[in-house]
Structure 1
Amino acid sequence: MEYTQLGRTGLKVSRIVLGTMNFGPQTDEADSHAIMDAALAAGVNFFDTANVYGWGENKGRTEEIVGSWFAQGGGRRDKTVLATKVYGNMGADGEVWPNHDRLSALNIRRAVDASLKRLNTDHIDLYQFHHVDRHTPWDEIWQAIDVLVQQGKVLYAGSSNHAGWHIAQANEAAARRGSLGLVSEQCLYNLAERRAEMEVIPAAESYGLGVIPWSPLHGGLLGGAVRKEREGGGGARTNGGRSAGALANSAIRAQIEAYEDLLDKHGLQPGEVALAWLLTRPGVTGPIVGPRTSEQLDSALRAVELELSEELLSALEEIFPATGPSPEAFAW
């Protein structure tokens, strides 16, 4: 396994991030534990979750599964850089009640204690804001985080789904307080979705944030969707995910067919190339992979060792052209 610093911090993390979103909803506790054991054995030390994972009436379940894995001991918690998130409503029994969501100081205090209990730990290494809160000022958010850092409950703060100007706002506000500010941004970024390159990634690089791409296979679209469809296994996820039905678009289908044909010529697997491509991108710490099975984890691990030739990278650029950074993409 390869490791890198998380943004401008001294924290070393693996270049593959184990996403746990499927633990509970699609992967039972025993299999989830087995996947985490296999990931740790392979050197993956960066695990990502969120308080809402498990979803619906089972929200919080994923954190509980991670917590029960930590409870087995064997140095599991000590070896893991643990990231979770706050923002979504965590009211009991589906109840929507004021101050049980978003990023008020009250909800952050409540949410972190609940996550710590579910995760069976005394601290969270990276506490991420799952979404932008347009109604809470950054000074209030940083006040809450500063208290948690002083208490030892949180070590670092990160963002997710934030625009470039939100990152700038956040870290300028933190700087005024003498706080560390955001050290990472978790954003939608892959070969088929490159808008983050316009402003989010330049902002992250400028402020020293590590970039953690989510949905690196774009909901399965970059994981051999056309091939699987032809073999009768279904194309991109048909469970209502981001890319459900994408292959019905003739332009997208042609693009994915060109992608898969190119990789067939090189004898490479589409999903592994999609991950390996992200590892070549400036500012990227590591993509989040969300395996439902041990076999999917093995495929993701192979991507770390995959070296893409300049010829292949150029060909990929032709199929999935970049929009370009801001302001050039808008002006010239």
Structure 2
Amino acid sequence: MEETLRALDDLQRQGKILYPAVSNWAAWQITKALGISAKEQLARFELIQPMYNLVKRQAEVKILPMAASEQIGVITYSPLGAGLLTGKYGVNKRPEHGRIVDEARYGDRYGADEDFVTAEQFTKYAQKHDVKPATLAVAWVMANPAVTAPIIGARNLNQLEDSLAAADFKLTPEMYSEISRLSRTPTPATDRGEVLTGKWS
């Protein structure tokens, strides 16, 4: 890790990068890197890129609180869960083609029965509020105060427009809570009674 951080510091000093960043590291790895950077006076990570969406919320346990505490930018990826949260999937509903159907790694990542239950409930919620599921999925990710911005992708213009519409969608705190209840909240990092806000539950 020290060698990697020094190499990134060299790249910044040479003007080849603006800021060091990291993707898919655990919170303990990032905090260890921050400590090494501080001790050795090296350029520190200013941005992290974790996976985060309604069915993959593990980042809420340690990564997002750590980023907020250390004032690190968070650019999340896969806000649509490889298409799971676009309205194409449900308990007994699959498209003819799609990453979850066609690619084993996505099928493994998003293949749990509860994921399809969440996807179906989420689609119904979006329909009830007259909004495209993709728009709502991206808006939900954006609503987390620790998230700087989500990374979006699209195979066509319509998909792109649905995701971009999240920037103008007004997601209320009530809607955020209701959507969050559609999937399993990750187990807290400790067995004590504090929640992520620092208040007692």
2:26 equivalent in structure 1: 163
- Summarize deviations over 1:60-106 as a string: whole Å, max 9, x none: xxxxxxxxxxxxxxxxxxxxxxxxxxxxxxxxxxxxxxxxxxxxxxx
Question: Structure 1 pair 236/246, CA: closer, same or farther in 2 (3 Å)?
Answer: farther
- Tell me the secondary structure at the aligned position of residue 316 of structure 1: helix
- Summarize deviations over 1:10-65 as a string: whole Å, max 9, x none: xxxxxxxxxxxxxxxxxxxxxxxxxxxxxxxxxxxxxxxxxxxxxxxxxxxxxxxx
TM-score (norm 2): 0.84
Bigger proportion of residues as strand: 1
Q: Number of residues paired by the alignment?
A: 192
Describe how 1:169-248 pairs up with structure 2 within 5 A: 169-226=32-89, 233-234=96-97, 237-240=100-103, 242-244=105-107
- Tell me the secondary structure at the aligned position of residue 75 of structure 2: strand
Residue identity over aligned pairs, in percent, reads 31
Deviation at 1:155, TM superposition (A): 1.3
TM-score (norm 1): 0.53
- Summarize deviations over 1:107-165 as a string: whole Å, max 9, x none: xxxxxxxxxxxxxxxxxxxxxxxxxxxxxx32x12221222222111110001000010
- Summarize deviations over 1:293-318 as a string: whole Å, max 9, x none: 23222222111111112332222122
CA contact (8 A) 1:226 1:257 kept: yes
CA contact (8 A) 1:246 1:252 kept: no
1:56 equivalent in structure 2: none
The structure 1 residue matched to 2:186, chosen from 323, 328, 332, is 323
Describe how 1:27-46 pairs up with structure 2 within 5 A: none
Describe how 1:125-140 pairs up with structure 2 within 5 A: 137-138=1-2, 140=3
RMSD: 2.4
Which of structures 1 and 2 has the bigger CA Rg? 1
- Tell me the secondary structure at the aligned position of residue 166 of structure 1: helix
Question: Structure 1 pair 242/178, CA: closer, same or farther in 2 (3 Å)?
Answer: same
Whichever residue aligns with residue 200 of structure 1, its letter is I
Question: Structure 1 pair 235/256, CA: closer, same or farther in 2 (3 Å)?
Answer: farther
Greater CA drift, 274-283 or 285-294: 285-294
CA distance in 1, matches of 2:30, 2:12: 20
Whichever residue aligns with residue 181 of structure 1, its letter is R
Greater CA drift, 186-195 or 242-251: 242-251
Question: Structure 1 pair 314/149, CA: closer, same or farther in 2 (3 Å)?
Answer: closer
CA distance in 1, matches of 2:93, 2:41: 57
Whichever residue aligns with residue 39 of structure 2, its letter is R
Does structure 1 residue 152 correspond to structure 2 residue 15? yes
CA contact (8 A) 1:217 1:274 kept: yes
1:298 equivalent in structure 2: 161
Deviation at 1:247, TM superposition (A): 7.9
